[in-house]
Structure 1
Amino acid sequence: MSTRFALTDEDVFVIVGSGPGGATLGSVLASAGKKVVMLEAGPWVPNDDFVNDEREAQRLLGWNDRRTTSGTWQLGHDFPGSPANMVKAVGGTTLIWTGLTPRFKAHEFAARSTYGNIPGTSIADWPIGLDDLSPYYSEAERRLGVSHRHGRRPLPANNNYKVLAAGAQRVGYRHFATGPYATNVDPRDGRPGTIQDGFNFQGDRQRSKWSPLVSEIPRALATGNLDLRPNSHAFYIEQGDHGRVTGVAYFDAGGVARFQQARAVAVAGNAIETPRLLLLSTSRQSPRGLGNHAGHVGRHYTRHVSGNVFAQFDQPVNFHRGESMAGIIADESRHDPERPFPGGYYLELIALAPIALARFVQPHAWGRDFAQMMEQYSHTAGLWITGEDMSQPPNRVTLSGRVDQRGLPVPNVNYDDHPADVTMRKDAFEKSRALYAAVGAVSISTAPPTPSGHNLGTARMSEHPDDGVVDKWGRVHGVPNLLVSDGSVFTTSAAANPTLTIVALALRQAAWLLRDAAL
C-alpha cells in the first residue's frame, strides 16, 4: 500500500489522522518531496465495501470507541455514548460527510469585535481574516471539485430541493441553490460524475463525492513519499528536553506499542481525539499536556446550533432520491444586531434513510404520531439547521475516569447550550415552519440536534499564547515543531459547514511549512 520509513527516521513528518486536514497536509508535503508517516486509527475500507445500510455502515465506518458526556445538552442525554458522528477509517469523517462547502464570512473571523462582549461566552477574534484565507479557499474548491464555483455547473435539483426552493421563494428568501457542493457533476480528477444515488451518510460507493480516500491519499501514495499506517492509534507525543517534540507512540494493528521518531508532528484527529491526545501527552515541560500551559486544550468546544425540521405533504416527495444535502439557503447567515442572537445560520437540505429518521426524528419517541410520521416517509421533506455556536469555557473535552479497550482514558464531552444558541434555534424553527407552510405542508415537526461531524474549537487559534493553543499557522504555542491541522483550531465556529475551511487552513499551513517554517 505504501512506502515504509524506519521508526528511527528523524526526518519524517508524522501526521496523526487521515481526514480532510491531515490528508490535505500530507498530500502537499509528499508532493513536495517530504517524507510523511500518516497514522490512522481505523482501517482502510475501500469504497466498494461501503454498504447502503445505516446500521452496517456504522459498524464498518463509525468511531464506535467509548465516549462519555456531561452537561445539560439534550444530545448528550439522547446519545451519551456517541455525541458526535465520526468515522474511524482512512479518509476520516469525510467518508460520510454531506458535501456542502460554504465559506466563512468576513465578520465570522472577527466575532468578538463584531458581536461585542456576550456574557458567558469565550468568543474571540481569529488571528487571521478572510483575506488571509481567500486564496486557499479557491484552491480548496478546485481540489474538491465544488459545484457553482470556478466554472463548474450546479448539481441537478431533486424533489426535496424543489420543495425547499419553492418555500424559500414564497417567504422572500433570495439566496438559495443546490450548492456549493463537493460532488462531481461531471467526471473530473479521476472521479465520475454523480449518479444522484441518494444517501451518502453511509459512504459514496461511486466515488463522485470528494474525500481523501479517493483524492488526496491516492495522490500522496503515488509520490512514494507517504507511509500510510492504518489501524495505528496514537496515544502519546514525546517532548524532548529542548521543548521540541521527538515522535509519536502508537498501538499498531496487532496492539503492539511502537514509537515513530519525527522531524515534526501534526495532529489532525478531530476536535475530540486531538485534545485527548494532547492531554495524554504530559511531560516535565508540559505537565498539563502539550499546548496546555494556559489551560485551553479541550476548552471552547463548539458544534453548531442545529436541529431538524420535517414536513409531510399530500403528494410524494421521495426525499431519499438525489444528493442528500444538495440545497442551502443563505439569507439567514448574517449578523443582524436587531436580532436577539449574534451571528447567523443556514437552512440546509437533509434526507435521512428510514432507520436514521426513526432514530433521530424524536429520540425515544413511540406511539401513534411517531408511527404516522414513519408511514409518511415517501411524502416527507426535510431540512437541517446549522448556525454559529457560542463558545463557552466550560464546554470542553476532558479525560474521563473510564478507559477504553487499550486502557486509555476516554474523552468526556461536556456541553451546555448558551441562551443565544437556544434563541437562534427557536428562530430557525419558526422560519422553517413558515417556509414549509408556504408550500402547503400537511404537517410540520421539529426534531432536536443529532450527532454530527461538526466538532470544533478545542485547540483554538490565538494571537497570544495565553488565549489559545495554536498560532495563526496552526503551530502549538511554545512547541516549535508541533502542529494541529483540523477543526480543533477554529477560534469560533461560524455558521458554515467546516470541511472547506479545514482544507483551506491545511493548504495555508502546508504552504507556510514549505516556504518559511524552519522545522
Structure 2
Amino acid sequence: MTRKFAFNDPDVVVIIGSGAGGATLAHELARKGVDKIVMLEAGRHFTQADFENDEWAMFNKLSWLDKRISAGGWHHTKTYPNLPAWIVKAVGGSTVHWSGVALRFQEHDFHTRTTYGAVAGANVLDWPITLQELQPYYELAEKKMGVAGSRASGLPPMPESNQTKVVAAGARKIGYRRIIRPVASNSEPYDGRPGCMQIGFCMQGCKIGAKWSTLYTEVPRAQETGRVELRPESMALQIRHDKAGKVDGVLYADRKGRQVLQKARLVCVAGNSIESPRLLLNSASPMFPDGLANSSGQVGRNYMNHSTAAALAIHRKPVYMNRGFDIGAVIADEVPPDTRRGFNGGYYLEGLALGLPYAAAFMKPGGWGRDVTSALEMYDHMTAIWVCGEDMAREQNAITLHPAEKDQYGLPVPIVSKTYHGNDEAIAAHGLGQFRKLSEAVGATRVIDMPAYPASHNMGTNRMSERARDGVVNKWGRAHDIANLYISDGSQFTSSSAANPTLTIVALAIRQAEHIAAELKRGTL
C-alpha cells in the first residue's frame, strides 16, 4: 500500500537517503506506528531486473558520479581525482553494491581516546555509547540482515570458495587462527529471500536477492506498512528551519528538476559521510551562518574511510577467485590493539575477490605495460586481499564546499580532503607485509601491492560526542544544536574501528528508531 503525503503537511518525518541507515530507520519507525514518513532518495529506483553481471556496466549504472574533488595528501588526488569514494546513487544506497561483510565493533573502538591517549596529529575521541549498550541492537541487526554464521540468524556459514581455502591455508601457516566469514548473505533460504547461488557478481547488485540490501528488504517492507512514501530522484538541496531554530522542512529537486519544499516535523539525514555534511553546510542561514548543527565547527570534519591497501597474489595452480561469493576468508588476528607493532588500533585482512576488469583497473591506475599484462594472463591463478584498518580521525580530513564550482543542482561541489596519518600508513604497510608472508607460505610466485582503490567505507564528518563542543550529535544521533534534527548514517561514527561499517549503521538505526518513536509518543519531538 503506497500513500502520498502533502508537501505542506507539518507532521511528516523526512528521511534523506534510502541506504543502510535511512531505509532501516524508515522501516523501524513505521513498524513502531510512526504514521507519516517521506523518504527522499537522490538516485533512481532500480530493480533486480536492472542488474547485470558486468562490472563496468553496473559501475556506470549505479555509482554516484556527480562531480566531487579529491584533495589533500592521499594518492586519490592523482589516481581518482573525481572519485574519492565509490558509493551508489540509487534506492538502497550502497547496500546495493556492498561486499556483505558484517562485523561488530570491539570494546576498545568506543574508547579510542581512553585507549590511545592524545594522538599527535589526530582528533581521537571516545564515543558517548559503549559496546554493551549496542550489543542487543547488533543482535537485532544480524537477525534482520541474515548474517551467515551468526547465532542471531541461525544461518550456517557461507560455503568456502577456492579463494577462501587458499588464503585461510596461508594464514594458518604463519600462525593466524581467527579466520572468519561473517557476511549478510543467505547461505540458505532465509526471510523470504533465496540462498546464495555463488554467482560471484556480488558488488554489482545481487540479481537473486540473497545478499541483504535495503532495496528489496527495508524499502518495500516500509512501503507495505502504508506509512512510508518513497520519492526517488529527489535530491535534497537544503534543510529549512523556523524562527526558533527548529528544522521545519526540506527543499529538494524532483526528477523533473523542479524545486519542492516538503514540510517536516523532524528531519533525519542519512546521505553518507560526504552528502550529509554537505547538506548541513549548504543549509547555512543568518541564524546558522556556518551551517546547521555546526556550533562546534565539526560538521564535515574527521572524515574517515579506513586505513586501506590492496594486493594480488599469483599462485602456481589455478584458484578461480571469481567463482563464489565475493568475500572469502576474513582474518581477524590483527584486530586487537597492540602497540608493539608500531601503531594504534588494528586491521582485518579481507579476502575480497576482484573481477578481471577491476583487477586490471586497480592494479596500476592509468598505467599498462608488461608488468600488468603478465599478471592479468595469470588471473585465474590469483587471490586478492584488502587491508581494512582503523583510520585516525583528523580535523583536516574534511568535506568542504568548493568556493565557485557548482553541480547540476546549483550546489557547490564537495571537496573531499584526506591526508593519511602516520598510523594509517603503518597499518597498511603491516597488512601488506602479512599478506605477502601468508601468500608465499602457500607457494605464491608473485605478490603485487596495489594503491588503495576508492572505498565505500565513509565515516565521521558528523560525529557523536558527549559534549557539544567536540562533535555534531549526541548518543542518539540527535544534533546537539537542533532538537528535531538527526544524523542516521555512518557520518555519526566517532571512530572508524577496523570493522566494515554497515552492520553498525543498521544497529544504530534500529536503536535510533526506538528512541525517536518514544520521543514522538511523549510529544517531545
Give the TM-score of the pair, scaled to structure 1. Answer: 0.99
| Residues 1:389 and 2:362 aligned together | no
Aligned to 1:432: 435
| Residues 1:405 and 2:439 aligned together | no
Aligned to 1:504: 507
Runs of 4+ in structure 1 over 4 Å off? none
Post-superposition offset of 1:424: 1.1
Q: What is the CA–CA distance in structure 1 between the aligned matches of 2:33 and 2:262, rounded to whole Å?
A: 19
| Residues 1:162 and 2:165 aligned together | yes
Q: What is the CA–CA distance in structure 2 between the aligned matches of 1:127 and 1:95, rounded to whole Å?
A: 30
Say if 1:84 and 1:451, in contact at 8 Å, map to a contact too. Answer: yes
Q: Which amino acid aligns with 2:23?
A: A
Matches within 5 A, 1:71-110: 71-110=72-111
Q: Secondary structure at the match of 1:426?
A: helix
Q: Secondary structure at the match of 2:478?
A: coil
| Residues 1:234 and 2:236 aligned together | yes
Match of 2:488 among 466, 482, 485: 485
Q: Secondary structure at the match of 2:448?
A: strand
Say if 1:199 and 1:351, in contact at 8 Å, map to a contact too. Answer: no
Aligned to 2:453: 450
Q: Secondary structure at the match of 2:148?
A: coil
Q: What is the CA–CA distance in structure 2 between the aligned matches of 1:313 and 1:337, rounded to whole Å?
A: 33
Say if 1:100 and 1:326, in contact at 8 Å, map to a contact too. Answer: no
Q: Which amino acid aligns with 2:397?
A: N
Give the TM-score of the pair, scaled to structure 2. Answer: 0.97
Say if 1:19 and 1:91, in contact at 8 Å, map to a contact too. Answer: yes
Q: Secondary structure at the match of 1:156?
A: coil
Q: Which amino acid aligns with 2:518?
A: R
Q: Deviations over 1:476-519 (max 9, x none)?
A: 11200000000000001010000000000011101111124521
Q: What is the CA–CA distance in structure 2 between the aligned matches of 1:387 and 1:197, rounded to whole Å?
A: 28
Match of 1:421 among 418, 421, 424: 424
Q: What is the CA–CA distance in structure 1 between the aligned matches of 2:273 and 2:184, rounded to whole Å?
A: 22
Cα RMSD between the aligned structures?
0.9
Q: Secondary structure at the match of 1:259?
A: strand
Q: Deviations over 1:254-283 (max 9, x none)?
A: 000000001100000000000000000012
Q: What is the CA–CA distance in structure 1 between the aligned matches of 2:427 and 2:174, rounded to whole Å?
A: 19
Post-superposition offset of 1:33: 2.4
Say if 1:19 and 1:212, in contact at 8 Å, map to a contact too. Answer: yes
Aligned to 1:19: 19
Aligned to 1:32: 32
Q: Deviations over 1:286-310 (max 9, x none)?
A: 1110011121000000110111111
Aligned-residue sequence identity (percent) comes to 47
Q: Deviations over 1:74-105 (max 9, x none)?
A: 12320011110100000000100000111000
Say if 1:125 and 1:491, in contact at 8 Å, map to a contact too. Answer: yes
Q: Which amino acid aligns with 1:136?
A: Y
Q: Which amino acid aligns with 1:121?
A: A
What is the aligned length?
Answer: 518
Matches within 5 A, 1:220-259: 220-259=222-261
Q: Where in structure 1 are there 5+ consecutive unaligned residues?
A: none
Q: Which amino acid aligns with 1:10?
A: P
Aligned to 1:7: 7
Post-superposition offset of 1:284: 2.2
Q: Secondary structure at the match of 2:328?
A: coil
Aligned to 1:56: 57
Q: Deviations over 1:382-424 (max 9, x none)?
A: 1111000011110000001311112111110001000111111
Aligned to 1:462: 465
Q: Which amino acid aligns with 2:66?
A: D
Q: Secondary structure at the match of 1:234?
A: strand
| Residues 1:322 and 2:324 aligned together | yes
Q: Where in structure 2 are there 5+ consecutive unaligned residues?
A: none
Aligned to 1:514: 517
Q: What is the CA–CA distance in structure 1 between the aligned matches of 2:188 and 2:56, rounded to whole Å?
A: 31
Say if 2:28 and 2:510, in contact at 8 Å, map to a contact too. Answer: yes
Matches within 5 A, 1:260-299: 260-299=262-301
| Residues 1:115 and 2:116 aligned together | yes
Q: What is the CA–CA distance in structure 2 between the aligned matches of 1:111 and 1:44, rounded to whole Å?
A: 39
Q: Deviations over 1:24-64 (max 9, x none)?
A: 00001112222110000001000111112222112211101
Aligned to 1:147: 148
Aligned to 2:69: 68
Q: Secondary structure at the match of 1:38?
A: strand
Q: Which amino acid aligns with 1:15?
A: I
Aligned to 2:185: 183
Post-superposition offset of 1:201: 1.4
Q: Which amino acid aligns with 2:275?
A: E
Q: Deviations over 1:369-392 (max 9, x none)?
A: 111011111111111110000111
Q: What is the CA–CA distance in structure 1 between the aligned matches of 2:32 and 2:128, rounded to whole Å?
A: 27
